[in-house]
Structures are given as C-alpha cells and as structure tokens.
Amino acid sequence: MTRIITITLNPAFDIHYHVPQFAVGKENYSTNRTVDAGGKGVNISRALAASGVPSLALIAMGSENGRDFCTMLEQDDIEYVPIRCEGSIRYNVTIHPSSGPETRISQDSFQLTADKLEEIREKLIDLIEPGTLVAFAGRVPKGISLPTIKSFLQSLKDAGALLLLDTNTFLLDDIIDIKPWLIKPNEYEIELLMGREISDLSEIKAAADEIHRSGVDNVLVSLGGQGMVYVGHELSCRVAVPQITPLSTVGAGDSTLAGYIFGYVKGMSQIDTLKSAAAFGTAACLSHGTKPPKPEVIVELREEITVLV
C-alpha cells in the first residue's frame, strides 16, 4: 500500500473542561475533563487509524512532556516518529458550558529551530519513496521563515512525495512555486489565498480552477455544511453533504483530508474518493471534540453524498 506520512510541527494537548455553569470571576466546577493529543497532522493520522489505514505521524515534541503525548498516540494506534525539541508541548484549554459559547485559552509552544527542521527533513527524505503521500497541515511554527519552510516542502516533493497542504501560511504565489499535489482551503482560506472577496459557489469554482491551472493537481475547497468544491484533472464538481446537527466541527477539515487519502490509497475512482473525503468530514462533525469519525457513520453518510458535475 502507498505509504502515508503526516507532519505535525505544532502539537498541543487539547484539554476540554465541561463546566455546566460557567461564570467569569467565580470559582467554576467541572463535571468532566478530557485530554487529547492534538495537532492537525495527528488528527489526520487518528482518523485514518480509526478506519484501519496505517500512517506514520512525524511529530515535533517538547521533551518535557512528550512522554504523555506518546502514550496517548499509542492508545489511538498511531505509529509515530518523535523529534525531540527543548521545552514543552502547549496545553490548549476549552471550557464548555451547558449553554452559551465555548471559551478557549491557547498557549505558546516550544520553539522549533531551523536545525530541528533540518533533522526532520533528513528523516523524511529517508522515509519518502516516489508516490508517498505526505500531509503537511497546521501553522508553521514561529522562528521558521517562509523561504525555509518552502524549501523544506520542495525537497520532500523532489524526493517523490505527493504533497497535501492544509495551512494558511502561504499566498497564491508560494502555492504556485511549491505546486503541491493537493490543497484544501476552507471558505475563509480561499479568500486569503486569492486576496479577494469570494461570495458564491461560481466564484469559488473559478478560484479553484485558477489554482488548478497554475499547477496544483487537486484543489479541494471545503465549505462546512455546504460540502465541497473540487477541481482536478479528471473533473470539476461540487460535492453536497447531508444536513446534520454537528456535535463538534473541530478538526472536520483534517478528517476531510484523511477521507481523501483513504479513497486514494484504496484505489477508488475520483468521484468515490471525493465522496470518501466528504463522508469523513461530515462524520467527524458527529463525533465529540477531535474524536475521529466512526467507520460505520462514514459508510452510512457516503450513501447520502452527491457529486454534482
């Protein structure tokens, strides 16, 4: 099977406190606390693992609390390669009241140095074979310059990787330079990328088409409850998803990427690969927090997804 690698340079412990009555400036009592090993690359690997597809998660880890992170990855059956960095992995806290909005507290992470990135690059080059799928998702850590990360990604491509990019670090010119195999902007990110307001489906399709013609093989724009727009070599289409009541949309986009990878490595047709991507994304909304989409939910949803060419 095609080798799959996910890269996480910005991991975090995602801590969720359920606080029925949350009041600012008061002592608050939590009825339930969950802790997950988070980060966009990790989420993709977790969604694949839950559907029985192994991948390798390459993760930059703060050495002070990396052990706990590894234990959680092992519980989720995620195979990983840790790159130890000085400092700690950050803790992101979300407070969930019974009603009303969630409150988030995010921390800064350890610093990833250019030397560490070089160590990661060398490790990856050893692991990549022609056709290896490599997913790079999430923010580029502070301290790493744009030219450095671009040449990092370029060298993975030169080694034969099919690069899946999901980050809003880049402008369109950078994307055109890198020419990833796939990008997955959401509604907001496609506007950032194009540097203009995009107001309807036909404009989204035109933007995706423009990016595709500049050399990106697969342009997948995810649109939340509106599904997705896709432009690639074989077809250009809209993918409609069923209406659901989401439990949590956190990490839905990561699951979309996992679903695309799932379809691709299983040798599905382009249309079925897109249905797989949409089903994983929507199924992720029916799991709590960053819990991976359940295979039985994915199978059920697939039947309700339509591809409109």
Using CB under 5 A as the criterion, which residues of the chain lie in contact with Mg ion when the complex forms?
253
d(CA 88, CA 173) in angstroms, rounded, equals 34
Q: Which does 47 bind (CB under 5 to 8 A by kind): ligand ATP, Mg ion, none?
A: none
- Residue of minimal CB distance from Mg ion? 253
* Out of 6, 167, 222, 276, the residue judged to bind ligand ATP by CB under 6 A: 222
Contact between residue 168 and residue 137 where contact means Cβ atoms under 8 Å apart:
no
Q: Is residue 20 close enough to count as binding ligand ATP by CB under 6 A?
A: no
Q: Which does 256 bind (CB under 5 to 8 A by kind): Mg ion, ligand ATP, none?
A: ligand ATP
List the strands of the sheet with 90-96, edge to edge. Answer: 32-38, 12-18, 90-96, 103-105
Beta-ladder partners of 237 = 230
The stretch near ligand ATP (CB under 6 A) out of 50-58, 126-134, 152-160, 274-282 is 274-282
Q: Is residue 289 close enough to count as binding ligand ATP by CB under 6 A?
A: no
Task: Tell me the backbone φ, ψ of residue 135, rounded to 5 degrees.
Answer: -100, 125
The burial class, CB within 10 Å (0-12 / 13-18 / 19+), for 60 is buried
* DSSP state letters, 229-278: EEE-SS-EEEEE------S--TTHHHHHHHHHHHHHHTT--HHHHHHHHH
Instruction: Provide the 3-class DSSP secondary structure of residue 38.
Output: strand
Contact between residue 217 and residue 175 where contact means Cβ atoms under 8 Å apart:
no
Q: Is residue 252 close enough to count as binding ligand ATP by CB under 6 A?
A: yes
In this complex, which beta carbon is closest to ligand ATP, that of residue 14 or of residue 85?
A: 14
The stretch near ligand ATP (CB under 6 A) out of 54-62, 63-71, 169-177, 217-225 is 217-225
Q: Which does 131 bind (CB under 5 to 8 A by kind): ligand ATP, Mg ion, none?
A: none
d(CA 235, CA 220) in angstroms, rounded, equals 12
Q: Which does 244 bind (CB under 5 to 8 A by kind): Mg ion, ligand ATP, none?
A: ligand ATP
Q: Which does 263 bind (CB under 5 to 8 A by kind): ligand ATP, Mg ion, none?
A: none
- Provide the binding-site residues for ligand ATP, judged by CB under 6 A: 186, 222-225, 227-228, 241, 244, 246, 249-254, 256, 278, 281-282, 285
